[in-house]
Structure 1
Amino acid sequence: MLHFTSRLSFVLVLALVSQLPARAQQQRLTMEDAFLNRSLQPQNLRQLTWIPGSASYSYVRPNAFKGQDELVIGNAQSEKPTATVPLAFLNSALKAAGNNLEASSFPTVQWTKPNEFVLLSDHQAWRVEFASKSFQGEMGSGTSTSGPVPVRLFGYDSAAENVELDPTKTRVAYTKAQNLYISLPGRENEAVTQESNPGIVNGQAAHRSEFGITKGTFWSPQGQKLAFYRMDQTMVTDYPIVTVLPAPAQAVPIKYPMAGDKSHEVTVGVYDLNTRKTVFLQTGEPREQYLTNLSWSPDEKFIYVAVLNRAQNHMWLRQYDAASGALVKTLFEEQDDKTFVEPLHPVQFVPGHAGQFLWQTQRDGYNHLYLYSTSGKLLRQLTKGPWQVTDVLGFADNNREIVFQSTAASPLQRRIYSVKLSGGKVRELTPEAGTHTATLSPTATSCLTTSARPPHPALSGP
């Protein structure tokens, strides 16, 4: 059963004005203070994450003695960090390996093993290995016995945007201008698309980033295929936006579909890294529709898409064959002629049960969790009530339980709960008032939590 322990709970108390440093109380904040002074920022554990294949976790904190970031590695069974990796040590090792960029803050770490992570720096992907006890002691006071060993995996274009690592952390997708590229060992800067018309954009967020869309590339679970948006805006009229960066200011046109005018047309391509060929999902007519909430089946054979009409009152959840692009079936529909249908979350498969997935929807007026089979049959509604599910954190209890965050206690709070996939009563895991976030351990038996507790009971809500 999932449990929370005090040694894993990092509490962040909301600061009152009286708790700010004395200097800040005696004078007005400057713009530099407001944006750059770390001492005035809310306390936080940056990059807090579990390390796969272990009972350890890591986060980034400033080194109080040296004024630089350091990566802290801890263990669920210990109160004190087991190792720290100062930024200066990492920069030195990367420089020795051929990296030309010295980071001013600790780069984003993506763990692959207990003693190995991947990071992106200087438009290159690096695998960094180090002994688990390379850096000992609090605040980096220990001595290095063997520093981190970076190995260059591959590089990618210096003008790359929208860079995304695949789930195996061995390849990236990125965009440059209107085209999409991939890089991996032995195949750097490989073009997936070769579009000459700047009005046709590949690999970027489509549909004005509505309906939960935050990106334009979607790696398959094993990184063998890459789904991506292709957005044709050639039929959309230009809309002027003024930029004040040059002097004098200039009008820069963007494509913006005004109400009643022609909208852009979006399709979904699937690039196979083995055959180096692309097929497009046969999403059909009308072309002016929203293709949202893309997700892959665990076996990489199918893609699920929430297709929404332009009136935004009718949605079809559809399954497509990833190899041919053909429509397999429509699992179910949601329709509301009085308001709107607003799909915001892709299907989320239950680990170890490829025939079941979670679906989040506001069909009863609140965002709740529903368990479906891949045949489209509703198995059961898992949560219900006048409150919102705000985040799904993962599965626990051998994938028989779902852990989530919600407003069940109060609209002003976010607490952590769980419920069995077989149904039953919702169990509250963080009974204290406040806003709680959590990260499940790789074995889903423990949780790292961060909590922001209100400084006054009146702010807790009912």
Structure 2
Amino acid sequence: MKLRQILPVFCFLMTSLVFCQEKQITLQDIWSGKFRTEGMQALHSMKNGKQYSVLNFDRQSRTSTIDIYDYKTLEKVKTLVSSADIAEIRGFFDYSFNEDESKIILTTNSQPVFRRSTLGEYYIYDVATKDVTKVSDQLVQEPTLSPDGTKVAYGFENNLYVKDLKSGNVEQITTDGEKNKIINGITDWVYEEEFSFVRAFDWNADSNQIAYIKFDESEVPEFSMDVYGSDLYQTQHVFKYPKAGEANSKVSLQLYNVDDKSTIELSEDKPGDFYIPRLQWTNDANILSVQFMNRHQNELDLMLFDTKEKSMTNVLAEKDKAYIDVTFNLTFLEDNSFIWTSEKDGYNHIYHYSKDGKLINQVTKGNWEVTNYYGFNDKTNTIYYQSTENGSINRDVYAIKLNGKNKKRLTQKDGTNNASFSADFTYFINTFSSATTPQEYTLHQTKTGKLIKSIKDNDRLEQQLEAYVMSEKEFSTIAVNGNDLNMWTIKPADFDPNKTYPLLMYQYSGPGSQQVANRWNGTNDYWYQMLAQQGFIIVCIDGRGTGFKGADFKKVTQKELGKYEVEDQIEAAKQLGQLDYIDESRIGIWGWSYGGFMSSNALLKGNDVFKMAIAVAPVTSWRFYDTIYTERYMTTPQENPSGYDENSPINHVDKLKGDYLLIHGTGDDNVHVQNTMRMVEALIQADKQFEWMIYPDKNHGIYGGNTRLHLYKKMTNFIHRTLGDKL
């Protein structure tokens, strides 16, 4: 009698457990942030090397704090700043210290301009006195404290200003700034997008000189976008955008003397068009380093300007048959010798040069890539870096002596490791993830790499995901066109090799990029998991032109963007279609941005292989894209017309056979909706049927409100309709 009563309960518990482990991922789950990982926000190592600061936010009290923690114990030492104690502000969401950490810039309000640039409201917090000073009543750009903490420089309406924090006086140091004409100290659109920086000014070590770049974009053609908004009439956003082959901003290097309020131009006799992608003061307050590049970006000069003697020296000149990647790795040591990274031996490695540019030694060597440079410990003569020595899909942290000896691997887990070192290099906080482990933050001893203790993990997320049907992301290689290409595959959890499945291929494929990497899920990975449980196999392949396998592999696409990368995707799809469990009549491909360019080309040039393609925000002709990016890989359309036209999908619309979904945002300042409009017109004139979706006023990311959910519903339905008819 008792057994009969207990058995149904036991069966119910077992049924519930099985049911809980079979939850299906939904688009609502994905875009509600349900699977978001936890991290350490705005981590900063304090100068004493014993403590670090983190930005915390209490949602209940709506209070922001900068909290100080002890490396050794990981215990909270104190709260350095709390918005609850500052009457002038409600809260802040970012912060930065000056050189001696006596003052902090607090970001309290921010409005995006382009991808990296913002207009913001900022306050200066004095750590000793707890006084708070508002930088400006206007929304300004890139406020930067002088090293001695007495002044702050910032950009406003294309001009530069310096505020004295003692007197409150504001000095306008440029006056010729004008929208769509002259920009002082803040990069123009194309520098921001392609050279990855916004602040084009820098304080010297003595806080008495500011070097800055002036951009004269008067002759750069304008691009305009309608902004539809919610008013009766639309407005227009007009900005300077140099398309391939068109005029760039004319750049010049300026030097402002804080003491006598004078400005001089530091001229450099460079023939033709050139770029200034980096400027940085050395440890000597009178020596400024500047990097110059020619328009083709295959020649780079590192110049040192002596602002006292008004002289300049070219200390390093690099040339490449294709192009040179600009980095942020330049580091000047105490004796003004410097650390530099270069691909000149075929792989990206670390080099040590004397202050006059003579090579002292190549620090790292091998058929692998240095992927991050962390810093140099002058007390132990040790460099710390991240690399692909453990395989191109993995990242590990290493230490090596400046002379290239005694290399030591400091991380042990296979996956993606990224270190944040204490200021004195005694400790480092490692961020680790892999395809099977979400981000975990651990404290390590730098000397040995030994784990001290865990700081934060995402066990809660792992436990949450145990309730869902999840498939393994399988890593492998595929031999295509003479190369072993990295690949990952996601199959349905109940995969049966005796059945046939439709195949969806995802790729980005842009120069130097990587999508096949041993790291934790991005948002799209959950979408792929959802599609896998709905009966699709998802594959991603990094073809020729992608990164971290050497310069030759990466740069083979030079002057022919979209040729070899497309050939690789088509050939890979043919090979995969021969597998017994792949239905070769139901193969699709999708991508975003460069990936949309690729998926469009693959569908057109591989019309006997691909049944469908989705292209989100694609480039449809390289003639429509910007100078710096496009010409880096293609030179100009005047020099290379066939490279531009033979590989642009807009010129192959007559080949369309399969199903094509084209998606774009009208507010895309990066890849203009012009690309899609011209593609649409070409398809119409070729009498080709297709589907398309336009998102009003959405930028290149196509997000905001319900937008992402709507977009992914649209794509999911299209995939089911075009590939899933036999499911």
Cα distance in structure 2, aligned partners of 1:391 and 1:300 = 27
Deviations 1:158-208 (A, max 9, x none): 221222233344432211112111212225331110015430111112452
Residue of structure 2 equivalent to 1:52: 47
How far 1:401 sits from its partner (Å)? 0.8
Write the letter of the residue equivalent to 1:388. Answer: E
Match of 1:164 among 138, 144, 156: 144
Residue of structure 2 equivalent to 1:296: 281
Residue of structure 1 equivalent to 2:85: 93
Match of 2:90 among 95, 102, 113: 102
Cα distance in structure 2, aligned partners of 1:172 and 1:423 = 40
| Residues 1:374 and 1:193: Cα distance change in structure 2 (over 3 Å) | same
1:120-131 alignment runs, 5 A limit: 120=106, 121=108, 123-129=122-128
1:349–1:358 contact (8 Å) kept in structure 2: yes
Residue of structure 2 equivalent to 1:6: none
Deviations 1:19-75 (A, max 9, x none): xx99x97865279834xxxx7431101122222225122223455876755443321
Cα distance in structure 2, aligned partners of 1:380 and 1:302 = 23
How far 1:258 sits from its partner (Å)? 2.8
1:306-385 alignment runs, 5 A limit: 306-323=291-308, 326-336=310-320, 338-345=321-328, 347-350=330-333, 352-354=334-336, 356-385=337-366
Cα distance in structure 2, aligned partners of 1:439 and 1:311 = 35
Residue of structure 2 equivalent to 1:419: 400
Cα distance in structure 1, aligned partners of 2:187 and 2:50 = 36
How far 1:290 sits from its partner (Å)? 0.7
SS in 2 for 1:172: strand
Write the letter of the residue equivalent to 1:321. Answer: D
Cα distance in structure 2, aligned partners of 1:299 and 1:305 = 14
| Residues 1:428 and 1:263: Cα distance change in structure 2 (over 3 Å) | same
Residue of structure 1 equivalent to 2:422: 441
Residue of structure 1 equivalent to 2:239: 254
What is the percent sequence identity of the aligned residues?
23
Q: Which has the higher contact order (CA 8 A, sep 6+)?
A: 1
How far 1:321 sits from its partner (Å)? 2.0
Residue of structure 2 equivalent to 1:393: 374
| Residues 1:178 and 1:52: Cα distance change in structure 2 (over 3 Å) | same
Residue of structure 2 equivalent to 1:216: 200
2:160–2:184 contact (8 Å) kept in structure 1: yes
Gaps of 5+ in 2: 1-16, 109-120, 437-471, 476-516, 519-548, 550-727
SS in 1 for 2:131: strand
| Residues 1:219 and 1:400: Cα distance change in structure 2 (over 3 Å) | same
TM-score (norm 2): 0.51
Cα distance in structure 2, aligned partners of 1:275 and 1:323 = 14
Deviations 1:274-324 (A, max 9, x none): 121112211223352111221112011111112111122222221112246
Write the letter of the residue equivalent to 1:78. Answer: T
Cα distance in structure 2, aligned partners of 1:183 and 1:154 = 10
Cα distance in structure 2, aligned partners of 1:333 and 1:163 = 32
Cα distance in structure 1, aligned partners of 2:261 and 2:126 = 26
Residue of structure 2 equivalent to 1:10: none
Residue of structure 1 equivalent to 2:71: 76
Deviations 1:320-347 (A, max 9, x none): 12246x44221131112x3112332363
SS in 1 for 2:85: helix
Write the letter of the residue equivalent to 1:175. Answer: G
Match of 2:222 among 235, 238, 246: 238
How far 1:457 sits from its partner (Å)? 8.7
User: Which stretch of structure 1 is more off in the superposition, 204-213 or 375-384?
Assistant: 204-213
| Residues 1:184 and 1:41: Cα distance change in structure 2 (over 3 Å) | farther
Decide which structure has greater helix share: 2
Write the letter of the residue equivalent to 1:74. Answer: Y
Write the letter of the residue equivalent to 1:268. Answer: L
Cα distance in structure 2, aligned partners of 1:458 and 1:170 = 55
| Residues 1:172 and 1:388: Cα distance change in structure 2 (over 3 Å) | farther
How far 1:412 sits from its partner (Å)? 2.2
Cα distance in structure 1, aligned partners of 2:280 and 2:332 = 9
Cα distance in structure 2, aligned partners of 1:195 and 1:409 = 52
SS in 2 for 1:46: coil
* Larger gyration radius, structure 1 or structure 2: 2
Residue of structure 1 equivalent to 2:716: none
| Residues 1:187 and 1:366: Cα distance change in structure 2 (over 3 Å) | farther
Deviations 1:236-290 (A, max 9, x none): 2222233333644333322222333322200111112112111221122335211
Write the letter of the residue equivalent to 1:240. Answer: S
Cα distance in structure 2, aligned partners of 1:222 and 1:317 = 22
| Residues 1:217 and 1:330: Cα distance change in structure 2 (over 3 Å) | same
1:282–1:327 contact (8 Å) kept in structure 2: no
* RMSD between aligned residues: 3.2
Aligned residues: 406
User: Which stretch of structure 1 is more off in the superposition, 164-173 or 256-265?
Assistant: 164-173
1:93–1:150 contact (8 Å) kept in structure 2: no
How far 1:348 sits from its partner (Å)? 0.9
1:292–1:343 contact (8 Å) kept in structure 2: yes
Match of 2:174 among 193, 200, 204: 193
Cα distance in structure 2, aligned partners of 1:286 and 1:427 = 45
Gaps of 5+ in 1: 1-17, 130-148
1:396–1:445 contact (8 Å) kept in structure 2: no
Residue of structure 1 equivalent to 2:113: none
